[in-house]
Amino acid sequence: MRPIIAFAHIPKTAGITLVSILRRSYSWRHFDRPGFYRPLTARDLKQIRKVDRGLASIAGHTIQPHTNLHQQLPVRYYTFLRDPAKRLISEFKFYLRRSTYDENVHEHLEAS
């Protein structure tokens, strides 16, 4: 049996790009685990497999190698790493773009 590809998505490290590649490559056999909640477990994977017997890949922020996924099926984990300083700057800019915060960041930091 081929192992399931399990992509552990670290924010701001090419995750959206790889997830789109997995979706195109595996179509209905790919499962995205949304959110930042609890890690995906073997029990969760068992439930997903009831619906999708041909599961080939999973991806998300909650895919974590320290969980017990391998108890259900063979799993091969992948992730991307990025220079920590560049990742932090990218994440900061991402939150600034999405923020509804009105105050100038410099003014806010000086007032704190």
37-89 pLDDT, tens digit per residue, is: 789 888 888 898 888 889 999 999 889 888 888 887 899 999 988 898 998 88
Look up residue 21 and give its two tokens. 């590649």
Look up residue 16 and give its two tokens. 């959206």
Look up residue 12 and give its two tokens. 């701001």
Per-residue pLDDT, 11: 83
Per-residue pLDDT, 111: 63
CB-based contact 10:81 (threshold 8 Å): yes
| Residues 84, 93: Cα–Cα separation, whole Å | 14
**Model-level pTM?**
0.75
Across the chain, mean pLDDT equals 85
